[in-house]
Amino acid sequence: MLKSLKIDRLRYLLLFQFLIYINYTNAQGVLTGKVLDSNKEPICCANVYLAKNPIKGIASNIDGCFQIEINDAEINDTLIISYLGYDNSKISLNQVNFKDTLYVLLKPNQNILQEVVLIANKSQTKEFSVKELDPISIYMLPASGGDPLKAITFLPYSTNISESANPELRGSSGDFSRVVLNNVPIYNPVRNSQLSGLGNFSLLNTELIAEEMVYAGNPPLTYGNCLAGLVEINTTEQLSENNTKVALSLANIGVLHSQNINKKSFIQAYSNYQFPSLYISLNKKSLTNIKDFKTIDVGFNYNHKFSKHTGFNLYSYAVKEDYIANSYSYNYLGEMTHSKKRNFNVFNFFYRKNNVQFSINSGTNFSNSEYHFGNIKTNQTENQIYTSFDSRLFFKIPLTIQTGLSHDYFDESFTNMLPYYYYSVSPIDSTYSFSHNKYNHNLEYYLYSKYLVSNLIVSAAFRKNIPVDGQTDYFSYQANIRYNLKKNSVILSGGKYNGYTVPGFFIQDFNYINSSQVSLEYLYSSTNLNISSSIYKKIENTPSYFQEDGQYYDTKIDIKGVELSLDYSFSNFKLFGAYTHLNSRFNNGTGWYRASNSLNYLLKLSASYYNYKYINATLSYTQHPGIFYTPVSHSIFNEEAQNYQPVYASYNSAKMPVYSTLDITLNRVASLNNTQLVLFATITNVLNNKNKVETIYSSDYTTVKDYWLYQERLFYFGVQLQFGH
């Protein structure tokens, strides 16, 4: 199910886009603390950060506990602990005894409704986020390559088995989840994307991110067209210092400059150039299908505050990418070319005073892509404009209400030359051509409320569309309950979600989709031990493309899953393990069949050693059963097509061998005055396992000639320099 033309993956081409900006040098020590209110009750999700470097920060866990690494250069800094409704606590680090636990008592702010310091994009739903990441944790996650979306793939609820950067959460496909940047959705948020929509790297620069929150299921209805999961990303709100970073690696040259313009404004600008020669030469035995690639991207983030109550932020990004590689479809193996130009912009205006916060969020996205393989030539032009108005009300009682209106406009144009017979894709096979245009207006309003009482957090929301142009009239709703008891939490969530697909190569139209889901999660968190477990069930209705006959059908997908994970830290070590059982079935009108990603187990293990004075090292391992696929039972020679038509057996009645990969990541940080040097290296698939993803048949489908493989062993290394100003 859902197989597509295979474009050779440029996996790990840029393993560290602007890699491993770690603010540690020679560690002063680990500061352990606990945040309490006036009743000596723990405060969950309090912000803990350094005054001179607010990017280096964490949030207290459900027990109010936190740990933060402090190096020699930071010992004269000030630790700030903040939480909405309380006065900030400021502690001089040079007065702290690192051997003892630091207890921080926050006092209620009696004037909170009269004087509120502006924080533009803080989420009101983070208590229901399964995972919150900052830049440091993104860099440190195994197999992330410093990429904010690839970092998700090693989290316990990621069921990504495509080795791509697309967020695939709890058995759902990537297009059912949504990536949101500063309150604006970024569709197809990946580079090196394929016809299937899969991509190897995200479009986002980790250095510009303040926080990344991942909702594995039941995403908050504050955002629309989001049915499976949500990745909510907010950019940096203030700079601690001016600096320039230069990165050089086997396949990339990049530069990032961050500059405070004045006390109210700052700008960050960056650019990268990717090139193939050194990377392919070093890994030529593993990259036999890659012919050439080149990517140039530029971006900037500008922030200005008119006052402590109001301001705006502008994020802009442009990329041009080209690559050439071998690809395979049906009984044809040949060269494919792909090129794409894209620009997206995100603008936010925000105002907050007294008990009201208001924001206007606008995004534009323009792209043009061309693809050529065999007798297939397609050009897709995409224009998108997104606008939303959001307001939040904060009350003296622990109640928050958020409401808003959004409009998402798409205009898609396709110019196609396609095979006349879906299975005849060689350059000499017959074709037909056509062009068409599709557009969609998605206008919605929503209401979200959250109430806190004692150890209980309750939220409920609905989202309703205003149908235009004959659209389906739908109503989305959800409810979440979280109960905290000391180090333990239980979260019960459920809801129904509606939206529309975004056109792609295989399904070139907007289609109504929906999902109903429920989940129960248990979390345990202490200073050095975290345990989580989840059970969930989802029913999704969506059109799905089937390679078996080159058609798409309305499909019901039934997903049930169980997750278990544990991470334990001691001394300079961190151990992590996660297990997922995923039972996924689909019905396309002909009966129920197991899905290709149905897994008896998905195992992820890692062991990390952190010594910022010498070296940081991570060993990670992933294993799962091979994917299910539909084999060809026999073929029929078609005289008109002058080609063999494959006849398939029952859907997903065969299975590939077990998939496993072992990866190593190393980095070394050194500092001299205002200059920081980072050396990094990675080896992916150390054992060079020949993990199989697809069968390559002979021209008449009578024999299996070979197998299309996942990523083989790859070496990558580079250096980054940071200069302070």
Residue 25 has pLDDT above 50, yes or no: no
Cα–Cα dist 369/199, whole Å? 14
527 C-beta neighbours (distance < 10 Å), count: 17
Predicted local distance difference test score (pLDDT) of residue 27: 40
Q: Range with the lowest mean pLDDT among 108-112, 578-582, 653-657?
A: 108-112
The residue-averaged pLDDT of 578-594 equals: 97
Q: Give the HSE-up count for residue 476: Cα atoms under 13 Å, Cβ half-sphere.
A: 30
Q: How confident is the model at residue 336 (pLDDT cuts 50, 70, 90)?
A: very high
Mean pLDDT is lowest, of 69-83, 255-269, 441-455, for: 69-83
| Strands ordered across the beta sheet of 102-105 | 65-71, 27-36, 102-105
Report the pLDDT value the prediction gives residue 88, as an integer from 0 to 100: 84
Bridging pattern class, strands 6-7 and 184-185: unpaired
- The pLDDT of residue 136: 73
Cβ distance 580 to 562 under 8 Å? yes
Average pLDDT over residues 84-92: 80
pLDDT of the residue at 525: 87
Rounded CA-CA distance 588/548 in Å is 12
CA–CA distances in Å: residue 465 to residues 26, 445, 641: 54, 6, 46
Cα–Cα distances in Å, from 509 out to 432, 433, 512, 546? 19, 17, 10, 16
Whether 719 has a pLDDT exceeding 70, the answer reads yes
Q: What angle do CA 396, 398, 400 make, to 5 degrees?
A: 95
Percent of the chain having pLDDT more than 70? 90
Which two three-digit tokens encode residue 448? 């979200």
For residues 591 and 570, give the distance between their C-alpha atoms in angstroms, rounded to a whole number: 51
Cα distances (angstroms) measured from residue 618 to each of 53, 161, 324, 607, 718: 26, 21, 32, 6, 17
- pLDDT, mean of residues 511-526: 95
Which helix H or strand E contains 137, and what residues bound it? helix 135-140
CATH class of 6-19+127-724: mainly beta
SS (H, E, C) 171-225: CCCHHHCEEEECCEECCCCEECCCCCCCCCEECCCHHHEEEEEEECCCCCCCCCC
Each residue of 60-82: pLDDT tens digit?
Answer: 775 678 888 887 778 888 898 98
How many Cβ atoms from other residues are within 10 Å of residue 318's Cβ? 16
What pLDDT is attached to residue 564? 97
> Which amino acid, residue 419?
P
Residue 664: closest CA among 678, 679, 684: 684
Asked if 491 contacts 66 with a C-beta cutoff of 8 angstroms, the reply is no
pLDDT at 7: 36
Tell me the residue type at 5.
L
The residue with greater pLDDT, 39 or 17, is 39
Q: Is the pLDDT of residue 111 over 60?
A: no
Look up residue 344 and give its two tokens: 């997206």
Average pLDDT, the chain: 87
Joined tokens for residue 308: 């402590």
Tell me the pLDDT tens digit for each residue of 266-286: 999 999 999 999 999 999 999
The predicted-structure confidence for 658-673, as pLDDT tens digits, reads as follows 999 999 999 888 877 7
Q: Rounded CA gap, 395 and 380, in Å?
A: 48
Half-sphere exposure of 252 (CA within 13 A, CB side): 23
User: What is the reported pLDDT for 67?
Assistant: 84
Pairwise pLDDT comparison (481 vs 135), residue with the higher score: 481
pLDDT tens per residue across span 612-659: 678 889 999 999 999 999 999 999 999 999 999 999 999 999 999 999
The stretch 689-706 carries a mean pLDDT of 96
The pLDDT score that the predictor gives to residue 190 is 86
CB–CB of 586/592 below 8 Å?
yes
Q: Is the pLDDT of residue 194 over 60?
A: no
Whether the predicted pLDDT of 198 surpasses 50: no
Torsion of CA 683, 685, 687, 689, to 10 degrees: -160
- Do 93 and 70 touch, CB atoms closer than 8 A? yes
Q: How high is the pLDDT of residue 54?
A: 60
554 vs 323, residue with greater confidence? 554
The answer on pLDDT for 85 being more than 70 is: no
Return all residues near 107 (Cβ < 8 A) that are at least 6 apart: 38, 86, 87
For the cut 80, the answer to whether the pLDDT of residue 589 exceeds it is yes
Residue 523 has pLDDT above 90, yes or no: yes
Q: What is the pLDDT of residues 676-697, one digit of tens each?
A: 888 989 999 999 999 999 999 9
Is the pLDDT reported for residue 165 higher than 90? no
pLDDT tens by residue, 234-249: 998 888 789 899 999 9
CA gap 71, 50 in Å, rounded: 12
- The backbone torsions φ and ψ at residue 51, rounded to the nearest 5 degrees and listed phi first, read -60, -40
Mean pLDDT of 490-507: 94
In this prediction, residues 180-203 reach a mean pLDDT of 75
What pLDDT does residue 663 have?
94
Q: Is the pLDDT of residue 465 over 60?
A: yes
Q: How confident is the model at residue 173 (pLDDT cuts 50, 70, 90)?
A: very high
Look at strands 551-570 and 632-638 and give their pairing: unpaired
The yes-or-no verdict on residue 396 having pLDDT over 70 is: no
Q: What is the spatial distance between Cα 685 and Cα 9, in angstroms, rounded to a whole number? A: 14
Q: What is the mean pLDDT of residues 332-350?
A: 96
Q: Quick one: which of 445, 344, 341, 342 has its CA closest to 385? A: 344
- How far is Cα 353 from Cα 314, in angstroms, rounded to an integer? 22
φ and ψ at residue 123, rounded to 5 degrees: -75, 145
